[in-house]
Chains A and B, each alone.
Chain A
Amino acid sequence: MRRLGDLEAEIMDRLWKWDRPATVREVVDDINKDRELAYTTVMTVANILYQKGWLLRTKQGRAWLYTPVRSREAYSAALMEDALGASEDRSAALAHFVEGMTDDEVAALRKALRDAGRRGDSRGPG
């Protein structure tokens, strides 16, 4: 299961990098530069990616030409939008380092930091 996901990412990675439609054969040949992988395995996973809605495909002769539905940047942007979503449910699901703040709060923090810097990092009111 885990390996399948890794292979999915590997295939998407190549198609995004090449930025053009490609056949399963091209992908297999490129992966085989590093390690042995059966053509049918890659074909199966490419088909899964098509069914999951990650890839589009058009017939060229007897082979399928695969293209990513959206660019990597578009997915990354959507992912960050999802991560930054202000919904409270969302913030419970993804534990954020900081949440969004108002300009007034930011100004107050800047002052607190400046005061702490003046006081010195180690000293403080007991």
Chain B
Amino acid sequence: MSEALPVLGYAAVLGVLAPRLVLRSAWPHRAPRLAVAVWHALAAAFTLSVALAAYHLATPTEHLHASFVGFLHSCGLGLDRGVDLGLGSGQPDPGTAGRLAGALPAAVVGAVALSIGGHALRAWRVRARHRAVLDMVGRRSAALGAVVVAHGTPVAYCLPGRRARVVVSEGTLELLSPAQVDAVLEHERAHVAGRHHLPQAAADGFAAVFRALPLARHVRRQTALLLEMAADDRALRRHPGGVLATAMYEMAACRAPGGAFAVGGGTVPVRLRRVLGPRRPAHPVLRGAVAAVALAVPLVPLLVACPPAPV
């Protein structure tokens, strides 16, 4: 129990305070891929902390009554009943406690892993179904390196993963200049090349398990935004900001009237201002420091919960 409290406290810091700190910083938008890594490190550290706290709550200590199992026992919820009904002792069976101590953290980590796998699988299925129709009706353009769909609505997206597809509608080709189209396609290719669907599936999976947690909500939205920024950066290597920004504006403005798909609060406004603004990549020293923190954050709960044995 005594070890569980600091770990729980650390989880609370990660789950509630750390997101505010990152959100208030300026560097994430200047180093979006590093920022995605930081958000994922926070999520991993949080999961680990909760798992370790569960372990310590279930582990029998000298003060058995204070432990989770002791607590259950005193409530008459002894999990050991089936095992040692005949004994009638006041102490829970250490074997049961040991099993619970192993099962609880495994359940926490397992729930997150299953949720991430589930999200990845569901997205994969949606893409496979979509791709089957796309390959039938779309026209492959070697010049664009994309599949063109005969439809007037300006749309551009990609199906990442193996057998990836970059897709544009004819409406996009009519609306945008060749340079703008190229910038948009470069942005989409960056998603495919960077395998951006994987960190997004991880963020979505984590968020689904810890729904009410501020960290969960932010990891999900920030990962989406930062991955868009990373793709914008790739497009900016070959195209001026003005080209990408006007392409964004034209496509967004075209879809806004009617509002059928207007969701609001999306990533475009902040991306557009960023693309138009001065390019200021984060300083290498700052990047190094942030990367070190990102690596250290998941290690802290291990050190707190499992301190080196006193000599």
Contacts and interface: CB of A to CB of B under 8 A. Distances in A.
A100 B259 contact: yes
B197 A92 contact: yes
B73 interface: no
B111 interface: no
Interface in A64-107: 72-73, 75-80, 82-84, 86, 89-103, 105-106
Q: Which one of A54, A83, A125 has the greatest number of beta carbons of chain B within 10 Å? A: A83
Interface stretch (A4-12, A19-27, A34-42): A4-12
Contact of B151 (A76, A97, A108, A126): A76
Contact of A89 (B126, B188, B240, B252): B126
A83 B240 CA distance: 28
A110 B272 CA distance: 10
Nearest to A54: B136
Contact of B277 (A89, A98, A110, A124): A124
A80 B255 contact: no
B264 interface: yes
B256 A100 contact: yes
The A interface is mostly helix, strand or loop, or mixed, namely helix
Contacts of A73: 150
A19 B255 CA distance: 31
Contacts of B135: 5, 8-9
B266 interface: yes
B285 interface: no
Interface stretch (B21-29, B152-160, B292-300, B302-310): B152-160
Interface in A12-71: 12, 54
Q: How big is the B interface, by class? A: 35 or more
A84 B158 contact: no
Contact of A92 (B119, B156, B268): B119
A117 B308 CA distance: 60
B253 A79 contact: no
A76 B150 contact: yes
Interface in B281-298: none
Contacts of B101: none
Nearest to A125: B278
Given A77-B151, A125-B278, A103 B257 contact: yes
Contacts of B160: 95
Interface stretch (B33-41, B80-88, B241-249): B241-249
A78 B129 CA distance: 12
B255 A101 contact: yes
A89 B123 contact: yes
A76 B266 contact: no
A86 B158 CA distance: 16
Contact of B136 (A12, A91, A117): A12
B20 interface: no
Nearest to A68: B136
B250 to A, nearest CB: 9
Contact of A106 (B184, B253, B273, B277): B253
B229 to A, nearest CB: 13
Interface in B139-158: 149-151, 153, 155-158
26 contacts: A12-B136, A75-B137, A76-B151, A78-B133, A79-B138, A79-B149, A80-B155, A84-B255, A91-B224, A92-B123, A92-B201, A94-B158, A95-B160, A95-B196, A95-B197, A97-B184, A97-B188, A99-B266, A100-B260, A101-B253, A105-B269, A106-B252, A106-B253, A113-B276, A124-B277, A124-B278
Given A73-B150, A93-B130, A106-B249, 11 more contacts: A75-B133, A80-B169, A84-B261, A93-B126, A96-B157, A97-B251, A98-B251, A100-B256, A100-B262, A105-B256, A109-B269
